[in-house]
């Protein structure tokens, strides 16, 4: 709803019909503006009404939503599947925890570092497969996700091994901890969504979408595919690390257990359930799905993968079965 003001970021939309979109935007801007404002207000005053449990869970949900946005960003702008984004989130989370451990600095100091770490990791990682089809990137991200626990456990002196590390320092002194854990991820999510909406209008985003629409046309304009791959991965890695950093702050702990291959696959499921949305509403739906499902199904452990997999298949097949017009509208409005 907040995103009504943001242009549609469906990859099939080319530069030629932005005029029509702008008109559509102007019409809906008032309605969506008021609706979005009301929802945002609701989220802001929620901790004053709801109990500590819900405040905590929603804080995690917002942080998860940011990581989900990172996955969706890569899917939308890069057209690449990733099943290793847990690793980038882990990079951000461990950056925060280790900066606290070694330098005694709080989240606000380590967030920028986490962003840089995520971006560099994304670049380093995408470089070998920059010229190849997305299959290789997907396989390499899977290897990355599987390799991460091994590395974390081996360097246990720094990473805390199985038990992981704690994130205890307050980011904002004087504010109750539970509120910090709620408002900082919410603020982060709003920031990421707003920046991405702005990014959508930039030349970079146009170039990336042009490559997705037609690689040949893009290359004749001097936009290289390898450049697109690298910049998508760097941005996506940075967003994921940012989300991971906030996740570690909200949950106040990081451990290898929270960043397995399953985490990464579930992130992709969350992204699919939100229809690869880069908006507030979509990503929060994905985040809620990811955060609440395990809680609701706590008693039925073996059913969790079935329900996640079933939800993924249902969304993918369901969207595919819709008439093309409705499908475009659904993805467009939500985007």
Partner 1 sequence: MADFIALAWAGIVSGCLYAMGAVGIVLINKSSKVVNFAHGNLAGLAAFLVFGFTAGTFGQMTWAAAVILTLAIMVAVMAVCYLLIAPLVFQSDLTSTIATLGIGLVVQGITQLLFGSNVVSLDLPLPNWRATLGPIRVASYDLAVLGVTAISIGLLYLLIERTRIGIAFRAVSANPFASRVCGLNLRGVHLFSWVVAGLLGLVASLLIVPTTFLSSTSVSSFMLQAFAAAVVGGFNSLPGAVLGGIFIGILMNLLSFYIAAEFTNTYLLITILLVLNIFPQGVLAIRGGSRV
- Residues of this chain that interact with partner 1 (CB under 8 A) are 75, 79-81, 83, 128-129, 131-136, 138-140, 142-144, 146-147, 150-151, 153-154, 265, 268-269, 272, 301-313, 316-317, 320-321
CA distance 76 to 78: 6
Closest contact distance (angstroms) between CB of 305 and partner 1 is: 4
Closest contact distance (angstroms) between CB of 12 and partner 1 is: 12
Q: Is 141 exposed, middle or buried (0-12, 13-18, 19+ CB in 10 A)?
A: buried
Q: Which is nearer to partner 1, 6 or 268 (CB)?
A: 268
CA distance 281 to 11: 19
Q: CA gyration radius for the chain?
A: 19
Q: Which is nearer to partner 1, 126 or 171 (CB)?
A: 126
Q: Which is nearer to partner 1, 221 or 303 (CB)?
A: 303
Closest contact distance (angstroms) between CB of 288 and partner 1 is: 19
Answer positive or negative: Cα dihedral of 259, 195, 238, 330: positive
Closest contact distance (angstroms) between CB of 189 and partner 1 is: 24
Nearest alpha-carbon partner for 311 in 299, 325, 331, 294: 294
Closest contact distance (angstroms) between CB of 165 and partner 1 is: 21
The two tokens of residue 59 are 């804080």
Closest contact distance (angstroms) between CB of 142 and partner 1 is: 6
Q: Which is nearer to partner 1, 88 or 308 (CB)?
A: 308
Q: Which is nearer to partner 1, 79 or 282 (CB)?
A: 79
Q: Which is nearer to partner 1, 128 or 294 (CB)?
A: 128
Q: Which is nearer to partner 1, 31 or 313 (CB)?
A: 313
Closest contact distance (angstroms) between CB of 138 and partner 1 is: 6
CA distance 306 to 293: 12
Angle between helices 280-296 and 261-273 (to 10 degrees): 130
Closest contact distance (angstroms) between CB of 216 and partner 1 is: 13
Nearest alpha-carbon partner for 189 in 283, 264, 276: 283
Q: Which is nearer to partner 1, 41 or 306 (CB)?
A: 306
Q: Which is nearer to partner 1, 15 or 306 (CB)?
A: 306
Closest contact distance (angstroms) between CB of 159 and partner 1 is: 14
């Amino acid at each position: 709803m907040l995103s009504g003001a943001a242009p549609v970021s469906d990859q099939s939309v080319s530069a030629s019909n932005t005029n029509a979109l702008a008109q559509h935007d102007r019409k809906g801007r008032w309605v969506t503006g008021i609706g979005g404002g009301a929802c945002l207000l609701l989220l802001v005053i929620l901790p004053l009404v709801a109990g500590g449990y819900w405040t905590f869970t929603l804080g995690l949900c917002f942080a998860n939503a940011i990581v989900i946005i990172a996955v969706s960003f890569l899917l939308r702008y890069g057209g690449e599947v990733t099943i290793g984004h847990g690793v980038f989130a882990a990079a951000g989370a461990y950056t925060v925890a280790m900066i606290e451990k070694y330098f005694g600095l709080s989240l606000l100091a380590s967030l920028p570092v986490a962003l840089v770490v995520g971006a560099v990791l994304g670049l380093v990682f995408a470089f070998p497969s920059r010229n190849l089809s997305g299959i290789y990137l997907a396989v390499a991200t899977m290897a990355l996700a599987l390799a991460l626990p091994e590395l974390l456990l081996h360097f246990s002196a720094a990473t805390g091994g199985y038990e992981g590390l704690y994130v205890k320092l307050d980011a904002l002194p004087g504010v109750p901890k539970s509120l910090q854990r709620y408002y900082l991820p919410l603020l982060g999510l709003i920031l990421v969504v707003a920046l991405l909406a702005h990014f959508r209008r930039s030349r970079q985003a146009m170039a990336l979408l042009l490559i997705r629409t037609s690689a040949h046309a893009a290359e004749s304009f001097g936009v290289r595919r390898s450049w697109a791959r690298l910049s998508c991965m760097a941005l996506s890695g940075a967003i994921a690390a940012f989300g991971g950093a906030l996740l570690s702050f909200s949950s106040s702990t990081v451990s290898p257990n929270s960043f397995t291959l399953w985490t990464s696959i579930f992130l992709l499921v969350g992204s699919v359930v939100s229809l690869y949305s880069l908006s507030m509403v979509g990503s929060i739906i994905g985040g809620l799905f990811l955060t609440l499902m395990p809680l609701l199904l706590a008693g039925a452990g073996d059913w969790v993968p079935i329900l996640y997999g079933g939800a993924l298949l249902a969304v993918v097949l369901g969207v595919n079965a819709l008439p093309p017009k409705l499908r475009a509208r659904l993805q467009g409005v939500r985007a």
